[in-house]
């Protein structure tokens, strides 16, 4: 088996009595697009928060590209090459679109893979950061809007800025928390295309999404979560058709149309 | 440290309790750290001075009156400053900080008004309002005023505790503290609850102000300032928003201060509260008595 | 004549310059989302160190101030390590406690500080022009400091700490840096004040100075560095301007603070940006430590429900939720 990009070993996140994530063990291979589906409150977001280290683990081990990251601080995993977006759009309202993306590459350096903090940057390094910003903006079709402030942009566009920020530093793994929720059909397809093309460039992605249509058409492999556990996983179509998955999904509120 | 010192602790602790309860209430329920609380407290004493200037009135008339007026002052601050800030500023930290600064300004305004009224002099409540007499209690020297202070503090803190834990409005109050967003959906008007909370908070400060002014026999514009940070220490010690915690912490602080007074020197007495704040925030930021939110869940 | 005006108002000018440095110290912390009010304590540390070295040890002014800055940097780092994980109101009040502790030390350590009465007859060794140059240099340094990457980092730290971490910003280290920087600026203000006004007393370094300095930052506006400068000038001249109000002066001053923080939390900076926006038809959003964007755009919004995806300032624990149980 190929070295996995990310592997979780019996990961648990409990909030007091709430077992938001309750013993998840999964492994992601490099270069694939993975999906997580599951009803609301099943622990999907908490799982991503655990991987990006924004919530403390109750138990378990997370290994990212050969490094154990379970006890790292969020900025450290980020510098290891992990990027994420948030379920609610989180842009910096006082910065332009360009600067919102730029903030993710400000620490980009030569030499050490661009991860270590150092005080001054060389002009070459600064150029590289500018270029990385340009590339990310271009990729999400935002070049024209680089000078705008987020509050003047429609919701779907704000989401794209978030994704541009997440990919700007050329991460090894991208976690996307419902990136197309609240978008119209056209925008959804556009984002799905972008995710597929990122996958074709070799970026590993883990996508949380309610819209089964998108998940089924874009993902290589899906995990189904319910009550903090991974109840099924496998190729999208077969997995979604399994009775226990149908039950998990249809037994409770289905809000794919959000 | 002898029994007489302990009696002292009880009296000082009672004043701290009255002062801190109101402050912890507004902070815990509304995220308002009301630094004007000290000035409102001072206004309680000042009002008592003003109404008794010409003719003596009974303490039992003066104190309720001060409580009502101080409650209204607090409501006024809520209406003209704190509520508009809450409305405008969505970010909780930004709103807390703006509220803090607004309350500093409001407090400074009240102090400036008091300075004008008193012409920067020390004034005193008409002594006939409450004739202080020496008495003894369990063989200890005390005054009837001190007994009244302790009794009122006990009465008000028990009433408030019962109100919060037992009554329907108290439960609504706790709902507001837990989750201001959805309690609107439960048919509780957050705005009305906020105004009510501020009224209670101000009234408690007013009662404390009258009593301390009687005890010290003076009123001056900066009467409340030293108490503010002590109350902050009390609140941190007791856990933000916890009335029972504040009561226990008030007596603990009074004890610690009296202890320093007796065994060290008076000059470091004030350092106790400030040092306590820093040490506590470091090691037990959730307060000595309360548990963190998620542990409660 | 300009020079007449200058000499008539020299004390005010000096006070405004020293005030501006202290306001910078507050502002730089607030803008990075570090709600420390400890600057006044470092003002005192810088002031007393300088005064002591110049008066008792007959040091030259510059090295004396330098030692004050160094000492403040060290103590500031210590304070950052100790209080660094506190947030918002808790940090504000803990640093107020620090200020009052420093004040108590100043009152009690009579050999060095002159006790409650303070120090008199500190030799006046700086000219107004020199202080003006210092303020100019500091202002320029701040402009460069907050341009580019550091400016973006500061915005991210204040506006969304979790987001900042998730894009690789070492928030803890940045906060320490801000703490130290803020302490040093405050100490510079204190040191200069000591050798500019020739007296220094503990009562100067109390809650009152915190209030005055906050007033400068609020009135000037915290969204741009020059807000602190403008605020310092206004607040220093306010008593002069309000002289007609006589007894009501202080009431009006306090009322101005309340009005500005409630109804115009972007201060003068926000005002200028708004006017500029009207002229150019386009305006960058102004967010300050006391108000977010919405404050400027839509008046009736109220606290929006933060999505339950991340712990919203979890319970009453003053530390950020993400670090609440993360000791390392
Ligand atoms: N910080 C937190 N504190 C307490 N409970 C939380 C916290 N974050 C999430 N939860 C709870 O964990 C469960 C899973 O939530 P979440 O991961 O957001 O689900 P999903 O993203 O699948 O909708 C929910 O019951 C939620 O209430
Ligand atoms: Mg979610």
Question: How much is the pLDDT for C293?
Answer: 66
% pLDDT > 90, chain B: 39
As a whole number, the mean pLDDT across chain B is 85
3-class DSSP state for residue A33?
strand
- Cβ of A104: how many Cβ atoms within 10 Å? 28
Which residues from A are below 8 Å from C159, CB to CB? 92-94
Neighbouring chains of C at 3+ CB pairs under 8 Å are A, B
Give A150-155's long-range contacts (Cβ < 8 A, gap of 24+).
Answer: A150/A91, A150/A92, A150/A93, A150/A95, A150/A97, A150/A100, A151/A93, A151/C285, A151/C293, A151/C297, A153/A97, A155/A89, A155/A182, A155/A183
Mean pLDDT for A149-161 is 91
Q: In this structure, is residue C213 part of a structural domain?
A: no
Least confident of B166-175, C16-25, C37-46: B166-175
Predicted local confidence at residue C200, as pLDDT = 94
Distance from CA of C313 to the nearest CA of A (A): 12
Record: contact B92-C258, CB cut-off 8 A: no
Question: Would the CB of A228 count as within 6 Å of ligand 1?
Answer: no
Q: Predicted confidence band at B93 (pLDDT cuts at 50, 70, 90)?
A: confident
Cβ of C312 and B92 within 8 Å?
Answer: yes
Is C280 inside a domain boundary?
A: no
A15 vs B contacts (CB less than 8 Å)? 294, 297
Q: Does domain A1-81+173-258 have CATH number 3.30.70.20?
A: no
Q: In whole angstroms, give the CA distance from residue B217 to residue B209.
A: 11
In this model, does residue C328 exceed pLDDT 90? no
Q: Which residue of C has its CA nearest to A147?
A: C284
Alpha carbons within 13 angstroms on the beta-carbon side of residue B297 total 13
pLDDT by residue (tens digit) across C83-122?
877 878 888 888 998 998 999 999 989 888 988 888 888 8
**Dist CA C121 CA A155 (whole Å):** 64
Rg, chain A, Cα only: 18
Whole-number mean pLDDT of chain C?
85
Average pLDDT for residues B202-206, to the nearest whole number? 96
C-alpha span between A64 and A51 (Å, rounded): 9
Angle at Cα A195 formed by Cα A192 and Cα A196, nearest 5°?
90
Beta-carbon separation of A117 and C287 below 8 A? no
Mutate to test the pocket of ligand 1, among A19, A22, A46 (most ligand atoms within 8 A of CB): A46
Determine the Cα–Cα distance for residues A179 and A207; give it in Å rounded to an integer: 8
Q: What is the pLDDT of residues B206-257, one digit of tens each?
A: 999 999 999 988 888 888 888 888 888 888 888 887 888 889 999 999 998 8
Q: If you ran DSSP here, which 8-state letter would residue A3 be given?
A: P
Tokens of C117: 């009465």
Three-state secondary structure of A71-125: CCCHHHHHHHCEEECCCCCCCCCCCCHHHHHHCCCCCCCCCCCCCCCCCCCCHHH
Task: Determine the pLDDT at residue C64.
Answer: 95
Contacts of A79 in chain C (CB under 8 A): 168
For chain A, what are the domain ranges?
Answer: 1-81+173-258, 93-170
**Tokens linked to C3:** 């020079």
pLDDT over 70 at C316, yes or no? no
**Per-residue b or e along B109-127, where b marks 16 or more CB atoms closer than 10 Å to that residue's CB:** bbbbbbbebbeeeebbbbe
CA A43–ligand 1 middle distance (angstroms): 6
d(CA B37, CA A2): 65
- How far is the C-alpha of B68 from the C-alpha of B124, rounded, in Å? 20
CB-based contact B111:B73 (threshold 8 Å): no
Q: Which residues of C touch A (CB under 8 A)?
A: 148-149, 152-153, 155-156, 159-160, 162-173, 223, 284-287, 292-293, 297, 306-307, 309-311, 321-322, 324-326, 328
Cα angle A97, A99, A104 (rounded to 5 degrees) comes to 110
Would you say residue C136 lies in a domain? yes
A19 Cα to the center of ligand 1, angstroms = 9
Site to substitute for ligand 1 among B178, B182, B292, B294, most atoms within 8 A of C-beta:
B294
Query: Which residues from A are below 8 Å from C when comparing CB atoms?
Result: 15, 45, 49, 52-56, 71, 73-75, 78-79, 83-84, 86-88, 90, 92-96, 99, 102-104, 106-107, 115, 117, 121, 149, 151, 165, 169, 177
Q: Residue C79: exposed, middle, or buried by beta-carbon count in 10 A (0-12, 13-18, 19+)?
A: buried
Q: What is the pLDDT of residues A39-52, one digit of tens each?
A: 888 999 999 999 99
Q: C89-103: string of b/e by CB count within 10 Å (b at 16+)?
A: bbbbbbbbbbbbbbb
Span A83-103, mean pLDDT?
93
Convert the pLDDT of each residue in B134-150 to its tens digit: 888 777 888 888 999 99
Residue C95, CA distances (Å) to B270, B279, C18, C29, C226 in order: 16, 12, 21, 12, 25
Q: What is the CA radius of gyration of chain C?
A: 20
User: Token pair 């970026």 is at which residue?
Assistant: A203
Mean pLDDT of B67-85: 95
Lowest mean pLDDT among A223-237, B37-51, B231-245, C286-300: C286-300
Q: What percent of chain B lies above the pLDDT cut of 70?
A: 91
CA distance C141 to C70: 18
Residue C231 tokens read as: 């605020």
Q: DSSP characters for C158-179? A: HH-HHHHHHTT--HHHHHHHHH
∠ at Cα A82 (A81, A85), nearest 5°?
140
Whether A15 and chain B come into contact, CB under 8 Å, resolves to yes
Q: Say which residues have a Cβ less than 8 Å from residue C255's Cβ, sequence separation at least 6.
A: B105, B109
Query: Which residue range is the domain that position C26 belongs to?
Result: 12-206
One DSSP character per residue, A122-153 reads: -HHHHHHHHHHHHHHHHHTT-GGGTTS-GGGS
Give the span between the Cα atoms of A184 and B129, in whole angstroms.
73
Whether the CB-CB separation of C37 and C210 falls below 8 Å is answered with yes
Phi, psi at residue A222, to the nearest 5°?
Answer: -125, 155
- Count Cα atoms within 13 angstroms, Cβ side, for B225: 13
Contacts of C195 (CB under 8 A, 6+ apart): C50, C51, C54, C61, C64, C65, C122, C123, C124, C125, C126
Question: Domain tally for chain C?
Answer: 1
**Tokens representing B19?**
């002062």
Is B35 a residue whose pLDDT tops 80? yes
Six-digit token pair at C294?
């919405």
Q: What angle do CA A125, A203, A72 make, to 5 degrees?
A: 70
Query: Which helix (H) or strand (E) segment is C21 a member of?
Result: helix C10-31
- Ligand 1 atom nearest to CA at A228: 14
**Furthest-apart CA atoms within chain C: distance in Å:** 64
Backbone angles phi, psi at C223, to 5 degrees: -85, -10
Residue predicted with more confidence, A255 or B136: B136
User: Which pLDDT belongs to residue B237?
Assistant: 84
Task: Please state, in angstroms and rounded to a whole number, the distance separating the CA atoms of residues B34 and B81.
Answer: 11
pLDDT at B292: 38
Query: Six-digit token pair at C282?
Result: 């386009």
Q: Residue A37 — φ and ψ, nearest 5°?
A: -120, 165
Q: What is the mean pLDDT of residues C16-34?
A: 95
Residue whose Cα lies nearest atom 1 of ligand 1: it is C311
Closest-lying ligand 1 atom to the alpha carbon of residue A178: 21
Task: Write the CA distances from C305 to B26, B97, B167, C301, integer angstroms.
Answer: 20, 19, 27, 11
Residue C327 domain flag: no
Neighbour-count burial of B291, counting CB atoms closer than 10 A to its CB (0-12 exposed, 13-18 middle, 19+ buried):
middle
């Amino acid at each position: 088996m190929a070295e996995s990009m990310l592997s979780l070993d019996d990961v648990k996140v409990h909030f007091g009595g709430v077992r938001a994530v309750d013993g998840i063990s999964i492994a992601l291979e490099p270069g694939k697009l993975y999906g997580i589906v599951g009803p609301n409150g099943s622990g999907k977001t908490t799982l991503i928060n655990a991987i990006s280290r924004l919530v403390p683990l109750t138990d378990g081990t997370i290994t990212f590209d050969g490094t154990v990251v379970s006890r790292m601080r969020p900025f450290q995993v980020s510098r290891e090459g992990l990027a994420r977006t948030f379920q609610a759009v989180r842009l910096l309202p006082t910065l332009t679109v360009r600067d919102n993306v730029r903030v993710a590459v400000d620490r980009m350096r030569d030499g050490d893979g661009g991860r270590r903090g150092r005080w001054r940057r060389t002009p070459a390094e600064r150029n590289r950061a500018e270029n990385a910003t340009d590339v990310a903006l271009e990729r999400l079709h935002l070049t024209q809007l680089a000078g705008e402030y987020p509050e003047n942009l429609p919701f779907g566009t704000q989401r794209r800025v978030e994704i541009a920020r997440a990919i700007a530093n050329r991460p090894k793994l991208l976690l996307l928390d419902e990136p197309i929720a609240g978008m119209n059909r056209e925008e959804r397809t556009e984002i799905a295309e972008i995710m597929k093309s990122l996958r074709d460039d070799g970026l590993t992605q883990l996508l949380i999404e309610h819209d089964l249509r998108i998940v089924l058409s874009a993902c290589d492999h899906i995990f189904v979560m319910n009550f903090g556990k991974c109840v099924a996983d496998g190729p999208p179509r077969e997995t979604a058709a399994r009775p226990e998955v149908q039950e998990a999904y249809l037994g409770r509120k289905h809000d794919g149309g959000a | 440290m002898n029994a007489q010192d302990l009696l002292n602790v009880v009296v000082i602790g009672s004043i701290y309790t009255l002062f801190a309860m109101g402050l912890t209430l507004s902070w815990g329920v509304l995220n308002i750290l009301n630094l004007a609380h000290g000035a409102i407290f001072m206004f309680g004493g000042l009002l008592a001075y003003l109404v008794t200037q010409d003719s003596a009135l009974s303490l039992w008339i003066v104190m309720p009156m001060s409580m009502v007026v101080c409650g209204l002052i607090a409501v006024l601050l809520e209406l003209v400053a704190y509520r508009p800030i809450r409305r405008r500023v969505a970010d909780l930290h930004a709103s807390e900080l703006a509220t803090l600064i607004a309350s500093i300004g409001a407090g400074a305004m009240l102090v400036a008004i008091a300075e004008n009224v008193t012409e920067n002099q020390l004034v005193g409540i008409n002594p006939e309002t409450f004739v202080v007499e020496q008495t003894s209690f369990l063989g200890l020297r005390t005054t009837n005023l001190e007994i009244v202070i302790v009794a009122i503090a006990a009465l008000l803190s028990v009433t408030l505790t019962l109100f919060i834990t037992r009554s329907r409005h108290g439960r609504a109050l706790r709902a507001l503290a837990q989750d201001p967003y959805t309690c609107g959906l439960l048919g509780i008007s957050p705005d009305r609850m906020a105004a009510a909370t501020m009224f209670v908070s101000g009234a408690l400060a007013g009662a404390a102000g009258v009593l301390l002014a009687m005890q010290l026999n003076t009123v001056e514009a900066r009467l409340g300032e030293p108490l503010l940070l002590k109350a902050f220490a009390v609140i941190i010690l007791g856990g933000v928003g916890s009335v029972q915690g504040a009561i226990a912490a008030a007596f603990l602080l009074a004890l610690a201060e009296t202890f320093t007074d007796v065994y060290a020197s008076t000059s470091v007495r004030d350092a106790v509260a400030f040092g306590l704040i820093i040490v506590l925030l470091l090691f037990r930021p959730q307060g000595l008595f309360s548990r963190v939110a998620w542990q409660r869940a | 004549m300009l020079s007449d005006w200058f000499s008539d108002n020299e004390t005010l000018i000096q006070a405004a310059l020293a005030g501006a440095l202290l306001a910078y110290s507050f502002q730089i912390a607030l803008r990075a989302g570090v709600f420390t009010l400890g600057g006044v304590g470092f003002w005192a540390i810088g002031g007393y160190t300088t005064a002591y070295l110049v008066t008792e040890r007959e040091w030259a002014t510059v090295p004396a101030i330098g030692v004050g800055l160094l000492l403040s940097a060290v103590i500031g780092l210590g304070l950052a390590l100790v209080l660094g994980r506190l947030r918002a109101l808790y940090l504000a009040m803990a640093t107020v406690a620090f200020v009052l502790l420093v004040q108590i030390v100043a009152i009690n350590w009579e050999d060095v500080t002159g006790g409650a009465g303070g120090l008199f007859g500190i030799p006046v060794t700086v000219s107004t022009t020199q202080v003006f140059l210092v303020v100019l240099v500091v202002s320029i340094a701040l402009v460069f400091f907050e341009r580019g990457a550091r400016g973006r980092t500061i915005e991210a730290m204040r506006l969304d700490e979790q987001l900042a971490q998730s894009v690789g910003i070492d928030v803890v280290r940045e906060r320490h840096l801000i703490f130290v920087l803020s302490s040093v600026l405050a100490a510079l203000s204190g040191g200069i004040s000591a050798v500019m006004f020739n007296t220094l007393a503990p009562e100067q370094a109390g809650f009152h100075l915190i209030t005055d300095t906050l007033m400068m930052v609020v009135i000037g506006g915290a969204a741009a560095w020059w807000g602190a400068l403008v605020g310092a000038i206004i607040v220093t001249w306010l008593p002069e301007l309000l002289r007609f109000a006589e007894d009501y002066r202080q009431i009006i001053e306090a009322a101005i603070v309340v009005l500005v923080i409630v109804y115009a939390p972007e201060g003068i900076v926000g005002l200028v940006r708004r006017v500029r926006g009207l002229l150019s038809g386009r305006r960058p959003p102004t967010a300050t430590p006391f108000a977010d964007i919405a404050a400027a755009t839509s008046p009736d919004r109220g606290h929006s429900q933060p999505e339950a995806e991340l712990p919203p300032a979890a319970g009453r624990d003053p530390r950020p939720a993400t670090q609440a149980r993360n000791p390392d």
